[in-house]
Amino acid sequence: MLAITKYSYEAKTSLGGVTGHSPHTRVLRNVALIQRQRIGLAIAVAGLFAIAALTLTPNSGVQQPSPSLCLVCGSYGGTDVLLNILLFIPFGFGLRLWGVSARRVFVVACATSLAIELLQIQIVVGRDASFGDLVSNSLGGWIGIALAGCWRACLLPPPRLARRLMYVGTAIWLIVLAGSAWAARPSPTRLSYWGHWASLSGPGPLFTGKVISASVGHAPLPWAPIANSGVLRRRLLSGEPLRATVLQGAPIDGLAPIARITDIRRTEIIMLGQQGRDLVFRMRTHASDLRLRDPAVRIEHIFPDSAADARAAGASFDTLRIAGGYVRGAYKVWAIGPKLNVSRELRLGPGLGWSFLLPFSYASGRVTLLLTALWLGGLLLPVGFWGARAAAEYEPRIAGSTTERSREHAPRIALIGTLAMAILAGLGLVPLIFREPPVHWSAWLASAAGAAAGWGLGWTSRAAVQPRRMETTAVATDWSGESRG
């Protein structure tokens, strides 16, 4: 068992404004402390279960990798680092809130991470253990400790602090959207390229159909080194798609490449593949420069339901023509076959940041707009919350003339205007700067809804906390006898 170390925050920041030294005040403070410790314990336990579920589940389909001393490992090392940090934040936050000292929480987080890495090396199959995981997990625990010391300042900040937090949140919103717009743009390497058709053997899932032809635009794609790779790179960026004509194969577990191009370092440049019954297309983007995941786009249920259906299609020589490329600011994939002519596209834009951080391979489909809307609205929720808290500084104090009331409301209108300008800059100006198509109307609606929901929550919390503090102060004064004549 962990020894609980008693500690206290400042009364005004940790216990809802319960101040004073009267017996009743001490009772309220102890009740608040017990409630906080219970919540902290629940968060820590939930965080530990999440850590165990996400790191100690065997992956039998993958060959056991060797331990590594790298800090940012593999093609998606940046994504792994960010997710490892996020994974340990609730654990460190909960332990600190429970009452464990900061030093012991950090030691427990480091020890937990070390135990996980050792288990991944010796017992858990198919898991990648590295020194970078240990460092990023420990950093996440430390961030959780820091958040436990300032959580009330973030959730119930006074007006001036809330205004600063709103401005910081607005800046982060714009940085995230601009970074997402840049990261989603195609970024083929400048090395020599190599063409690949579906392999008949090798690691990973294999395409069970047959590739009849492959090309970039109308130029055949060789199954060999490609001459004039610089010219091919410019053609891909100008919108010429990767094409293939195939006889369909059976459903596949995992992602099996059908036609793709890599460079001499085996870095994937562009790929058409099959995942289950779906057709998947992806292209290297600037996200790969940061070792994040490249966005991908899919068409669902293109390939046969079963191996028998695939054999029947092959016997009748029913070919499927597929293509994918970067076309007019979007990643687009097509499929044309018997009784089939369908396409999907993924527009580049500032709302794709969520796709870089997924812990698994995901190709965008019909729910992409929903995920983008949730991402944008969620980013603006705390900004709107802090804006409403900041507006409390400009509460009308005395009923006066219409001019005086207008002057009182002017700063509040300015805060709302700041939110509106942030949405306009993020969703309107950023795509113009990066020469991307206009964002979907759902992105505007979700951003406005997220800011409005945050404002409503902030306004409600401001209205709820003030009466509670007034009541607590009155009761505490009565217990101390100062209010008696």
The pLDDT of residue 29 is 61
> Tell me, what's the pLDDT at 142?
96
CB 248 within 8 A of CB 308: no
Instruction: With CA atoms as reference, report the closest residue to 381 among 465, 455, 459.
Output: 455
pLDDT for res 14: 43
Angle in degrees, 0-180, between the axes of helices 102-122 and 23-55, rounded to the nearest 10: 20
In this prediction, the residues of the chain whose per-residue pLDDT falls under 70 are 1-32, 60-67, 200-203, 307-317, 393-408, 463-485
List of residues 6+ apart from 138 with CB closer than 8 A? 88, 106, 109, 110, 113
CB 381 within 8 A of CB 450: yes
- Residue located via tokens 């006074």: 158
- Which pLDDT does position 30 carry in this prediction? 62
Which residue type is seen at 400?
G
Q: How far apart are CA 240 and CA 354, in angstroms?
A: 27
- Its pTM stands at 0.82
Integer Cα distance of 189 and 241 in angstroms: 17
Question: Which pLDDT score, from 0 to 100, does residue 393 have?
Answer: 67
∠ CA 328-331-334, nearest 5°, is 105
Per-residue tokens: 457? 């929550």
pLDDT confidence of residue 109? 95
Q: Tell me the residue type at 228.
A: N
| Residue 327 CB neighbour total at 10 angstroms | 16
pLDDT at 448: 96
pLDDT at residue 69 in the model: 79
Tokens of 88: 């340990």
pLDDT score, position 9: 37
* Own/partner pairs, 416-425, CB within 8 angstroms, 24+ separation: 416/387, 416/455, 418/166, 418/167, 418/170, 418/387, 419/170, 419/380, 419/383, 419/384, 419/387, 419/451, 419/455, 422/170, 422/173, 422/174, 422/380, 422/383, 423/380, 423/447, 423/448, 423/451, 425/174
Cβ neighbors of 188 (< 8 A, separation 6 or more) are: 233, 236, 237, 269, 270, 283, 284
pLDDT at 26: 60
